[in-house]
Structure formats: C-alpha cells, structure tokens
Structure 1
Amino acid sequence: MPIQLNDLMRGEFSASKSSIDWLDDGIEGHDGLYAERDDSGKVVVGDYSGVTTTKTRILVDVSDFEYTGEKHVIARAWPGKGLEKVLLMTDPKKNWRHSYYGAYWIYDVSSKTIEPLIPHIVTADVRLAAWSPAGGVVAFVLENNLYIRNVSQQTVSQITTDGDKNTFYGIPDWVYEEEVFSGNSALWWSANGQYLAFLRSNDSSVPEYSIPYFEQSPIENGSYPEMVDVKYPKAGYDNPVVELMFLDLASYEVFLPRIDDPRNLRDNDRLITEVVWAGEKVIVRQTNRESDLLKIVLVDPLNRNGSVVREEDVSGKDGGWFEVTHDTTYIPANESQGRPEDGYIDTVIIDGYNHLAYFSPLNASSPKQTLTSGSWEVVDGPSAVDLTTGTVYFLATRKDPTERHLYAVQLDGTNFRNISNTDEDGYYGVSFSTGAGYLLLSYNGPKVPYQTLLSLRTGTNVTIQDNAKLTAKLDKYKVPETLWEQIVIEDDVVVNTLEIRPQDFSPGRKYPVVFHIYGGPGSQTVDKRFTISFETHIASALDAIVVSVDGRGTGFMGRQFRAVVRDRLGYWEARDQILAAKQWSKRSYVDPSRIAIWGWSYGGYMTLKTLEQDGGKTFSYGMAVAPVTDWRFYDSIYTERYMHTPQQNADGYDGSAIKNVTALKEAKRFLLMHGTGDDNVHFQNTLALIDKLDLQQVENYDMYVFPDSDHSIYFHNANKIVYDRLDRWIELAFAGAYDGRID
C-alpha cells in the first residue's frame, strides 16, 4: 500500500533510537556510566562497563510528586557528582527554539526527599540550572540574573543584580540562542568548580521586534492581542554587546579579565562564539560580525587577563567565512604520554577543507601536528579523545560527501584508520562515554537504522536497537527507491543529487517531478540517511518523482564550493536548481510541463528565488513555507556571515531579495504559507512580498496563514494542516487544476 500522510504524521515510520546521557562521577573505571529515564519515567543510572552485562540502579524512584498540595511531573533530570543528589526540572514552558522556563528541584537519593532549588520557594520561571562538576553547587538564572545555590548549606547567593530585558547573564539573548550557541546556556564551569565563566549580553541598543499573539495567551485587555517584544538585531543594526565574565567561587567575586589585543574588535563588531575550559585557562573564540576574522583568545582567570594567541582573516583568501563551531577539545599535559604541555584540538582550514589540528602549548599560534588533510571534511570534530591511548575520534566525509563514517587517528598524526565499515554505504552518528572508552554507534542509513554499543578497548559490542519491527512494517508498503548521483551542471561544476522514485517506477511513463530544496550556506539535503518523509509520501502516494540537488553554497564540498554565494545569496543556488531541472526535464520518464519546487525557511526563500530567476521556463509550480523574502529582514549574525552588512553591500541585498515579482507571474501557480508568531523568519517577510505582488497585480498564488505559530508551525494542529495543504495543493497542480487559472 502507498505511504499515507496520516500514518507518516503519526510517526508510524520513525526508527526507534536510544540516547545516552553519559556520566562522569570521577571514579576510575566508571567510564561506562550513563543516566536515562525508564519506561515508567523514573531516573536510573546504568553501567555499560561490562557492555553485555549492563547493570542499572534507580536514582529517582518517582516520575511525579506533590509539593504543598500541587502535583509536579518530572520533565528532565541531571544527576550530580557522586550520584547523591539529582537536579530535577518540572513544569516546562517553551520560550524560543531552544530555551524554556521551568521549576527546578533538588532530589536527595538516600532520603528520597525533594526540595525546591530556591529553599521553600517554588517558581516556574527559572531559565537555566546547571551543576558544578565538583558537585554540591548549582548555578541558575532567574529574571536574567545569575544565582548560586549551595546545596548542603541551604543557601542561595545572588551574583548579579542588574539583569533585565536589556541585560542577560548566563543565558543567551534571542540571536545568540538561535545563531551562536543553539542552546539555552551561556555559562561554563571550570572542571574543579573553582570558577564559573558566564556571558553578559547588553542588548540596550538592539532594536525590538513586536510579535502579536492572538490566541496563545489569556488576553487581559479583552479584545486586543498580546504584544511580545523581542530584542532582534536585523542585518545592519546593532548587535548585543557581549563580554565574558567570571565568578570566583572562593570569594564570590565577579570580574572581567583584561584582554591584551592591540586590534581589539569594537563592542558592536565582536561575536563570542565558543568558550572552552582548558585546565586553569579558558579558550575563547571570537569573530567580527561578518565572521571572516577569527581570533583565539587565551584567558587566565587566576591573573585576570588574556591575550590573542591566534588570528586568521579569510576575507582576502577564499572570500568565505567562519561557521560557528563548538568542538574545540582540551588536551591536558601528560609527560609520561609524550604531552609535556597543555594543548587543544581545533578545526582549521587546510587547502580549502575543514580538518583537525593539534595545538600545544595553549598559546601556540600554529599547530603542533596536523591530524587530517585531503579533499574531504571533518564534521563536528573531534567527536572524542581517549587521553589514555592518545586516540582522536571523528566523523568525516572521506569516503563520500553524502556519507558519514567514524575514523580515528593518534595525536601524533599516525595510525589513521576507519572505525565504521567503509566498505558499505553508511551515515553514522556517535555518542562517546566521558573517557571515550565506550561508544554508542548509530547507523542512520541508507538502510533501516540500528545502534550498537561498543567497548573500544576490549572490542566487545552489543546491538541495542535493531528496528526489526520497522523493517517488517515497511514490507507492507510501497516504499520508493532512492538513487544518489553526481551530475555536472555547468563549467565542470559537480553537484550531489538524489532522486526518489515510486516503487513501481516504469521508465516508459512520464512522471511529474517535485524538487525539494533547502540550500542554505553550509547545509546538506542530499545525504544517505534513512528517512520516510513527506517527500517519500509524495513519491509513494502521488506517483511522482522527488529530486533534491545540493547546489553551490551547500556544505561538505569544500570552501570554494560554499564561498561562491557570498554577498549575493539566491543567485547561484537558484541557478543550480534550474540547470539541474533542465537536465531532468530531458529525461525520458519526466513530464517537463509538471515540474514543481518546494521548501521551508531558507528552502521557502529558494523556492521563490528559483521561480523568480526561472520565469516559468522550467518550473511550473512552487510551494514556499515561512520564507525569507528580503535579507534586510533577517537577523544580523546569520545574514552578515554570508552577505556582509547592508551598508557595505547594498546592491547584494537588493539583488538577493524577492524583487522581480512579475517573473513569478510566469509560473502557473505558487503557494505561500507562514505563521504569524514566527520569531525567526518574521511574518513581515511574507507581508512585504504580498505588497509587491499587489502592486504588480500578480494573482497566480494561494496563501495560508497560521495564527500564532512560530517557525515550525505547530500551534493548534497547524503542523498537520501544513502538510495536508501541501499534499492536496501539489496533487491538484499535477492534475492540471491550476493550468490557465489567473486568480
């Protein structure tokens, strides 16, 4: 039977996957410890040190509890050092994409008692709480101020006092949460718990964007929507001023180190993108706001100073940029293992590709040892380092850009080898124990996923997820076939593509084609992960072909392939979709009159940009969800990384906007969808486009608006409606319902 949309939306075809929160309790030989919630919601700790003889014990023996007559359901749990106390979170309330509010509690394992994080006070407004690695102390953020809870002494100390809507301590503001940290935390404990580093963000000069909410919250004013003001710096406007501050836990003194940098970045031109404790010092990654100048700053909290130890400017080299990374790994000194001084592993550019290098000592301006090189890239590496054996583990595209395999190399650059099976196609993910002695290896495709737990020192392993039920279920469905290939589109430019064909594909028939696009800088849509997706449904149930093309600007094909799009987003990416579609239109099994393109977010932008550039010559239809339509409306950190500022690149911004709307009129029809509560790609984007369409009397489009939905479009059943309408709209388009229709 075909893969039906309702079954897909219910998760019928999702692969089961285990996740492990590895623990470090400081006890030698406990490298395999992990924490998880069992089927009943209780918090358990397991020990994988035997691999096949896993032992578990219950830490928190309840999934909910009552406090002063009110019931609270445990949403998340974090065991403290020694596993004597557990930090619990209840009553979560979503804020932005990664952040949330909640009530936090301390659970005592031996007495099985629970108390509020703030003694005797229950508040669900805590934005973040985090154990000290040394145990006994929790840092948390309430009303944008930083606090310290000493668990044994039952005391809470307020560290900062001026947190407000313009000043954030220990948590990111909107743009840093979305574009820099991809998370809700901006604080970092030293390993010994002596110091806490935390970010102070001053958003006083950042303009506010007001989002109206019509249905989500109770409205005090009766008939008026609730207005939420978000500090959101659009391209060219003031960024938050960020500074890395420190708390000395011995004296509870807060200080700001003095940084020795003759060419210091101005406040409005400085991004702090990564903070890593390296023993008693701190490595801080800074870039300018356009992300083409990198500074590595080494801070000494003891002496309260720091200096720039590495600097690189790529603006005059390949014209590219530095992406935000969070993978710098500290390598402590160990004389007996040939490491006389502290060091770290970082991602560096070698011959136009991202690779790993080992720097030692910490203030080294150049690598002590290059660990990888070649016309392929390390992905989010290193994944782990086994300090006992000196082994560096990492995922890379060495075999193929569409695959991910696990490799290893020694710190001295010798004994490069693969860990996953590179003889077969594979897209792997990894999760290492804290000492890198154990590995959860996740095979994510192209076949049905499975997971294996390995002891890297003994070689023993056990499969913990085989997804046999999913394999059996898929045998009952018409699962489309996916084909991967590289094609040359022009001037020896090679791009990766995939094609999803109906199961009963016949080369003698003429099929409609849907191009599925994201296309953002450094992204990847064409890979060999297993997925039963909306595109799979289109091929299976609508008897159509789905094509994805990773054109210029996308990731894992080298910096030259990416950097060509800089300062004129939309041009090369749209050109590559059109060139590829022209090739598909000539294939014997394709109906060239029924070629469509669809995408969400950057993919929505690419859908419109492709229709604009194509002018109806190749693509007849398009579906754009939550699209950017003018990069002057998007946030500064993301946009300026690829476009510089509007003040520097006015022509580029003008050309990258969806501007030539009369060209959209040449398509048979297109669809627009957007949520009014989108805090990421503001609804302003779609409204500005509609105004242009009205001025030019362009009417060959349909539109659907989702009240109060954010960028993911979920509020009040909206996500199901999005896909229902996409499904029905493209079905009608391929049936000819929009041919000749002008309104």
Structure 2
Amino acid sequence: METNDENREDRDVERIPDELFRRRKGNKWEKLLKPGVILILLVWGSVLLAKTISSLERCKNDGKSSDSGYRLPNSSYTEDGSLKVSLRNVRNGTFVPKLQSLQWISTPDSYVSDKGLFFTVSNETHVVRSVFDEGFSQVLFEGNSFKFEGQSYKIDLLVTSPDLTRLLIRTETVSNWRHSTFGSYFVYNNATSQFDKIGDNLSLAIWSPNSLDIAYVQDNDIYIYSCKDRRTVRRVTEDGSSQVFNGRPDWVYEEEVLEDDKALWWSPKGDYFAFYKIDETAVGEFVIPYYVQSDEDVYSQLRSIKYPKSGTPNPKVGLWIYELKDNYAYSVDIGYDEKDPESPILVTEVTWVDESKLITKTTDRSSDTLTVFFVNVSRRNSEPVRKTSSEGGWWEITHNTLYVPQNESSGRLSEGYVDVMPINGYNHLVYFSPANATEPIVLTEGNWEVVNGPAAFDYEMNIVYFLGTKKSSTERHLYAVNLAEPKNVIEVTDTSKNGVYDASFSAGGRFVLITYKGPRVPYQKIVDLRSLKTDKVVTGNVIGKTLYYLEKNQNLKEELRKYAVPSKKFQQLNLGPDDNGDDVVVNSYEILPNDFNETKKDYYPVFFYAYGGPNSQQVLQNFAVGFNEVIASQLDAIVVVVDGRGTGFKGTHFRSLVRDRLGDYEARDQISAAAQYGAKSYVDAEKISLFGWSYGGYLTLKTLEKDAGKHFKYGMSVAPVTDWRFYDSVYTERYMHTPQENPKGYEMSSVANVTAIAHAKRFLLMHGTGDDNVHFQNSLKFLDLLDLHSVENYDVQIFPDSDHSIRYHNANTIIYDKLLSWTRLAYTGQFID
C-alpha cells in the first residue's frame, strides 16, 4: 500500500464530476442529447456513489481519512528528500558500527611488567602484538586452516598458552545451548610446528597457567592432557553421564547461573583446579518435538532436556578440588543439607584468592541469603565467613569478584578480593582483606551503582577500575578508586558529556581498550593509564594518554549523512504517586518520527517497546539504529521505551518492589506512561500499541490484561512466559520464591484474565516451537485459555523448530516483516472489530 498510489486514486475520484458536467454554451445538439445526458449522469452518478462509498469505507479502514487524518508516510524519503530508515537497511547492517575486540594475553610476568600484549589476526596471520611497543610482534600461526594426518581442518577458535609457546585450537564446532559447543581440539607447538590431537567431541578445554597442562571435558568427565608427554595422562572423574556433569554446566547452570560453558577453574599456578559436579538425576525432563529438521522425516524428532521448573527439584551441585601433585579429588563442604535433597543450594561463583585458597558463593534456591565460604585447599577445609540476607530483595548472581594478591610494598599486607555489595541500597565496591575477613572496607558509596563489579586492577598502582552510573543511570562512565583511598572516586572518562563506555583491560591493568558506545557514533581507542602525558584534546578519557584509535567508524559517519535517522530523546517520566504517595519517576526515551509536527491533532500512533525484566535496562544512551527507528520512520509513529519499577541501576528499593508479584508494578508503569501519551494533543489515543519479546512478551500480555483496552489498543507478544510455573526454577524463584511458598503470587502473576485482554482491539502472538528457554507450552496454554473463554481478537504466527531467538529457516526475517506489517494494519484501522 504505497501512499502515492492511494492519493492518485483519490484525485481520480474527485476529477470525474468536473469532466462530466463540463459543457459549452450554445451547443445545437443540447436539446437532443439532454435525455441521454440525464441517463448518463444517472449511470455515472450511481457509479460515483458506489465508488465514493467504497472509497470512504476503505479510507475508514486504512486510516487515511479517519478523524485523525493519519496517513502512512512516504516510505523512502523525508519532506526534505533525505533517506529514511527502512527494515532493509537495518537488516543489511547499514547502521551497525564496526567494533573490534582484543584478546589480551596474561603472561606469568604481566602483573609486574605489563606490556599490553594482545592476540590478533591480520591477513590470516595469528600474531601477538604489544600496545606499548609497536615493534613487538610474535607470529603464532599462519592461515585459518591446517592439515593433520591428511585431513584438512578449519580453525574455529585459537587460544594461546600463557607463555605463548603453544596454541589450543578448536575445529568442527557444533553449537549446543546458548554458550556451549562441542568440537575437536588440537595442540600446536610453535617451536616444532607440530600438531597433536587431544580428542573429538570435547565440550571444554582450558589451559593451565603452567602452559603445559590442559584440562578438558569429554562425555561429562574431566581429563588432563600433558603437552610435555603429548598425551592424556589422567582421568580425573569417572562418573560422568547424561545425568552427571563434571567441569561443565547443565542447561540451567549454563543459562542462569554461570552464563558460560565452563564449570572449572585453575588455581593461579596450576597446582589445583576447582570444578562443579552437577547431578541432575532428580530434575524433571521436558521433551521438545522438532518437525522440520529433515525433509525425509515423517515423524517428529523428540529431544529431551533436563529443565527444572519452578518448585521442582533443582540439580544437586557440589564443589570439588583436584590436586595434580597427589592426583586426588575431594568434595568441599559448602553447606549442602543431605537431609533436604529437594532444595539444594545454588553454587554461584568460585574465585581463587591465592594458590591454595579460594572463596565460593552460595545462596538458597530463592536467593534470599548469600553465604561466602573460605576454602583452604592445602588443609582441605572450608568455613563460612559471611552470611547475609537480601533484606526483602534478592541476591543477583555475579561473576566479577576480583582477586587482589598480597604486596606489602603497595600496602597490601594480605591477599584479598574486591566484590560488590549493597551499601545503603545501592550496589558498590567493597574490599575484603584478608580473604577470610568478615567485614569489608567500603570503596565506593552514594545514590548510584557500580555496574557488574570491578573491571580491572592495576597491581602496581593499587587502583581498581570500574564502570558506574555516578553521573546518570542511563550512562556508563569509567572510574577509578585506590585501595589506599576508599571512597575517593576519580573519573577516567569525560563526564561533562553524555556517554556510554565499555572497557577492556590488559593483564596488569595499565592499558585499556576504551569503547565509546554512544549516544553518538561509537569509536575505540587504546589508552595508557599510567602515562605522565595526557591528551591535548579530550575525547573520551580525561586520564591517560591515547596511544592510537582502534576504530573511528568514519565510514558509518559518512553513510549516516545520507539518512534522516529519528533521534532518541532521553527523559525522566513522573508517572504519578505510588501506593505510599511518593512520585514514581522512571527512565524513558522517545523517538519522534521524521517531519514530526506537534500541531497535528489526534494524529500520531504510539509504539511502546518494553522488556521490563527484574534488574534489566533498555533506556541506555548507546548508539543503535534498529527496529524502533524503522517503526518511527515507516509508520510515522512515536516510539516510547519505559524502564519501569523492577528494572535495574536505580537502587535496591526500585527494583525489589516486584519481588513475589511479577507483572504488577511493571504493567502499571507501562499503563501510566500510555495514559500520559494518550493525553497529548498530537497523539491518536486509539492507536497505542505495546511490543515485547521474552519477558517483554510476558509484560505485553500482562499489561493488556491489566489495562483491559483502556489505553493500549494493540499488543505484539513474542515468546512470552504466561505462567511462571512453566519457567526455570533458578530465574523464577529468585524473584517469586517457589510456587509452594507463594501460591497467590504465582496465580496473580500468570496471564489468566483473557476476557480483560479481549477488550483490546487486537493482539498478535508469536513463538518458536523449538524454544528451549521459554517453552512453547506457555503460548499453547494461553491459546487454550483464549479458546475456553471465546476470545478471538488475536492473530498467531508459529515458527517451526525455532529457539528463543527465532532464527531457524529464515524465521528472523519473517518475524520482523510480520511485526511491521501487522502494526501497519493496526494503525491504518484494517482490523475488523
């Protein structure tokens, strides 16, 4: 439906009467032709009336002549002739900035002599370089493939040993779950140019700090490969099976706890390693049918996955230590209650804090209480050193605890670690020294938050670097604090300008790859933080000397000059008083369409996009041109994103309100924002929609339920949870406790009142049948409720065998085509009530 063609049809309808009634005076045939003219006029009048009625009906349906006067804009150009953002140029990467990553290398002397070594690939040459010494270059391998015993292998992953003498290479990689893979692993000796094969179908292989040993996992058992002996020398475990995982996570630990494919950690010198033993025998099994894997299949393929749903048995996880010298493995006492096997603890993090000491964190299954154990490996004992309640919130799982070694010359009299803890309701850095200390030294404080935890430590200068929200919760700046000067926070990036930064540090913490991610076009630079010189012109960093730019994205800047990209306006919305009478102030941004005209009355549709999950964030000032900009450009819609209560980086109280009642406050805040936008003179309050995926899909349905058609007229829900009993235990119980403990909360949080959703004009539901994360079961149960209550104001799109990302067999193209076209139909009034 192109606007130009539609307007041309309207003009033709208007032109016909002028041509019919055009007559010249004094025509001698006038009297003779008058009856014929009348007849013609009657016929044409009937045709015109029919066409006019049809045109009016069509205009009523497509919105061009509705009360608001809304018309679909020109899809290609703005009024001044600039190119518009389209789904096509978003898909082809027109607006994607080029960003590079450095594989920093930690050598045995990195902590005392940081040369800024990193691994890179240039013209198919794998080489180690130094950001400090431009002349340093050590070629490790030439090419992207190799031959072994007459067979050619493509290199998928290459990891250098700490001493740079050998390479660990993965080939024939097969993806498993979100983070995990299987593959064949080889060792390449730089000195001899010789390959040795470790094995096939390995799920993990990790260098020891000694550069000689490799711990690997095959068929869920751990083995030791010796580069010195050029063979596997030990089998560490023998109970690995489809139910018992050694050194690698099962599904729920990979997805929700470790967020990684490894559950094995070497000690600093390689004399020991710690690993998880995960027994999921008691975990319930969920079967997923696959329908379109092969053209030859006439029956569905059934794949089962051990998936602990809320309130059902979790996997039993134990922490084990392996001592290489004695070839001995033993289980660490971390408080597991054998008398309560249905409710095992969660083992969330392991950090070595010396060659023979480590700390490990555990929580109860609902993340109410955090317990930190100090483990003395040489003595083979453990003790709980602190136990802390979440005080009505929950303990988020972290992975950034940072080991700080002893160094008396730098004032560090004992080994210790830097962690994150709530300080007066906000997440901040704390320092524990010695490592078994029960009380911390508070390093940062204030009504702002440290993001993720410590980013790096300069072992020589005693400085901890971190990203924080000190300036604004919608920004990320790099800061520093010295262990000897707690609470004296120094800015590293320029806080006088809005910015979102990321940082990747060299092994010794001296050099940093600073990535500026927005709001303007991203760039990357390498900075020497210990330099006595500083930059003459401040661009990003206010501390340190810029050595060079890794990426400026000049091509993207040039390309953007051709386009009129709708800009984001970041703002704080006051949604009115809460239950206690205090104002609810939330972060938000809006994208106004091209050629926006605020004098128009009841004209613009509003497209809300939401995620809204606990401790999440969408309102962040990074650079991005994506589907939201497409909606604004192609549909002349105002796009609004609101991070309501429950989202992160605004303190413990703001996010913990949603505990035990997911979907309540989050939906209220979306509705309050919709009410504000619906009251604007230039907004058509009958064309307010909400779109979300995953938790956002859940929030979309929950908001439609609570709103009952009052403000949100349309909704698009992709891969939603509809009943929290169906989702995994680790995520759900962190925010809801178990269904047994909180039955009323689960009942209220489910999407159940479908007759209320029926008051919306229409909604769209989409899901992949192969979703191993949010099972298709959620949407099927919801559809059954719709049938039972005779609700029919919806459309459904199913994607065979697609997982949670919905990409299988061109599905990702189709889903965004459908979202755009469905929204266009909604805004042009083409859905029949």
TM-score by length of 1: 0.96
Query: Which residue, 693, 707, 710 being the options, matches 1:614?
Result: 707
Pick closer, same or farther for the CA change 1:625–1:259 going to 2, 3 Å: closer
Contact 2:515 2:524 (C-alpha < 8 Å) held by counterparts: yes
Distance of 1:515 and 1:262 partners within structure 2: 47
Could you report, residue by residue, the CA deviation over 1:569-600 in whole angstroms, capped at 9, with x for unpaired residues? 00110000000110011122211110000010
Query: Which residue, 306, 317, 338 being the options, matches 1:242?
Result: 317
Distance of 2:733 and 2:419 partners within structure 1: 24
Contact 2:114 2:507 (C-alpha < 8 Å) held by counterparts: no
Equivalent position SS for 2:261: coil
Pick closer, same or farther for the CA change 1:442–1:730 going to 2, 3 Å: same
| Deviation at residue 261 of structure 1 after TM alignment | 9.1
Query: Which residue, 738, 749, 753 being the options, matches 1:660?
Result: 753
2:416 alignment partner in structure 1:
343
1:172 alignment partner in structure 2:
249
1:469 alignment partner in structure 2:
555
Distance of 1:627 and 1:261 partners within structure 2: 34
Q: Equivalent residues in 2 for 1:703-714 (5 A)? A: 703-714=796-807
Give the aligned residue type for 2:217: V
Contact 1:260 1:306 (C-alpha < 8 Å) held by counterparts: no
1:71 alignment partner in structure 2:
152
Contact 2:114 2:508 (C-alpha < 8 Å) held by counterparts: no
Could you report, residue by residue, the CA deviation over 1:512-557 in whole angstroms, capped at 9, with x for unpaired residues? 1100000000000111011011101111222211100000000001
Distance of 1:224 and 1:636 partners within structure 2: 31
Equivalent position SS for 2:518: coil
Could you report, residue by residue, the CA deviation over 1:13-52 in whole angstroms, capped at 9, with x for unpaired residues? 1000010111012235343001123343x322111123xx
| Deviation at residue 663 of structure 1 after TM alignment | 1.0
1:22 alignment partner in structure 2:
104
| Deviation at residue 460 of structure 1 after TM alignment | 2.4
Matched, 1:625 2:739: no
Pick closer, same or farther for the CA change 1:179–1:258 going to 2, 3 Å: closer
Query: Which residue, 261, 277, 284 being the options, matches 2:360?
Result: 284
Give the aligned residue type for 2:149: T
Query: Which residue, 431, 451, 460 being the options, matches 2:545?
Result: 460
1:722 alignment partner in structure 2:
815
Contact 1:272 1:284 (C-alpha < 8 Å) held by counterparts: yes
| Deviation at residue 217 of structure 1 after TM alignment | 5.8
Could you report, residue by residue, the CA deviation over 1:604-653 in whole angstroms, capped at 9, with x for unpaired residues? 00010001110010011111110000000000000000000000000110
Give the aligned residue type for 1:505: F
Distance of 1:548 and 1:734 partners within structure 2: 19
Pick closer, same or farther for the CA change 1:274–1:265 going to 2, 3 Å: farther
Give the aligned residue type for 2:214: V
Matched, 1:503 2:591: no
| Deviation at residue 284 of structure 1 after TM alignment | 0.1
Q: Which region of structure 1 is more displaced relative to structure 2, 698-707 or 502-511?
A: 502-511
Could you report, residue by residue, the CA deviation over 1:94-137 in whole angstroms, capped at 9, with x for unpaired residues? 1111111111111111232222113xxxx2x1111110011111
Contact 1:217 1:226 (C-alpha < 8 Å) held by counterparts: no
Q: Equivalent residues in 2 for 1:496-535 (5 A)? A: 496-509=587-600, 510-535=603-628
2:481 alignment partner in structure 1:
409
Q: Equivalent residues in 2 for 1:4-403 (5 A)? A: 4-27=86-109, 29-40=113-124, 42-50=125-133, 53=134, 55-118=136-199, 123=200, 125-156=201-232, 157-216=234-293, 222-259=297-334, 268-279=343-354, 280-314=356-390, 317=391, 319-367=392-440, 369-403=441-475
Equivalent position SS for 2:240: coil
Pick closer, same or farther for the CA change 1:68–1:470 going to 2, 3 Å: same
Q: Which region of structure 1 is more displaced relative to structure 2, 248-257 or 398-407?
A: 248-257
| Deviation at residue 414 of structure 1 after TM alignment | 5.5
Could you report, residue by residue, the CA deviation over 1:348-375 in whole angstroms, capped at 9, with x for unpaired residues? 11111100111111111111x2110011
| Deviation at residue 55 of structure 1 after TM alignment | 3.9
Unpaired segments of 5 or more residues in structure 1?
Answer: none
Equivalent position SS for 1:720: helix
Give the aligned residue type for 1:571: D
Distance of 2:255 and 2:275 partners within structure 1: 18
1:570 alignment partner in structure 2:
663
2:576 alignment partner in structure 1:
490
Query: How large is the RMSD of aligned CA atoms in angstroms?
Result: 1.6
Give the aligned residue type for 1:49: F
Give the aligned residue type for 1:411: L
Contact 1:261 1:307 (C-alpha < 8 Å) held by counterparts: no
Give the aligned residue type for 1:405: H
Equivalent position SS for 2:156: strand
2:517 alignment partner in structure 1:
444
Distance of 2:705 and 2:686 partners within structure 1: 17
| Deviation at residue 82 of structure 1 after TM alignment | 1.5
Distance of 2:194 and 2:128 partners within structure 1: 18
Contact 1:524 1:554 (C-alpha < 8 Å) held by counterparts: yes
Could you report, residue by residue, the CA deviation over 1:252-301 in whole angstroms, capped at 9, with x for unpaired residues? 21111345799998673300000000002011010000001000001111
Contact 2:469 2:476 (C-alpha < 8 Å) held by counterparts: yes
| Deviation at residue 667 of structure 1 after TM alignment | 0.8
Identical columns (%): 47
Contact 1:299 1:305 (C-alpha < 8 Å) held by counterparts: yes
Distance of 1:532 and 1:643 partners within structure 2: 35
Q: Which region of structure 1 is more displaced relative to structure 2, 581-590 or 182-191?
A: 581-590
Equivalent position SS for 1:398: coil
Contact 1:376 1:557 (C-alpha < 8 Å) held by counterparts: yes
Pick closer, same or farther for the CA change 1:639–1:217 going to 2, 3 Å: farther
| Aligned length, in residue pairs | 726
Give the aligned residue type for 1:663: A
Contact 1:353 1:559 (C-alpha < 8 Å) held by counterparts: yes
Q: Which region of structure 1 is more displaced relative to structure 2, 656-665 or 328-337?
A: 328-337
Distance of 1:265 and 1:114 partners within structure 2: 49
Could you report, residue by residue, the CA deviation over 1:237-265 in whole angstroms, capped at 9, with x for unpaired residues? 00000001011111221111345799998
Pick closer, same or farther for the CA change 1:633–1:567 going to 2, 3 Å: same
Could you report, residue by residue, the CA deviation over 1:213-241 in whole angstroms, capped at 9, with x for unpaired residues? 2223687xx42122111110000000000
Greater gyration radius: 2
Contact 2:287 2:303 (C-alpha < 8 Å) held by counterparts: yes
Contact 1:24 1:31 (C-alpha < 8 Å) held by counterparts: no
TM-score by length of 2: 0.85
Equivalent position SS for 1:512: strand
Contact 1:98 1:177 (C-alpha < 8 Å) held by counterparts: yes
Distance of 2:275 and 2:188 partners within structure 1: 26
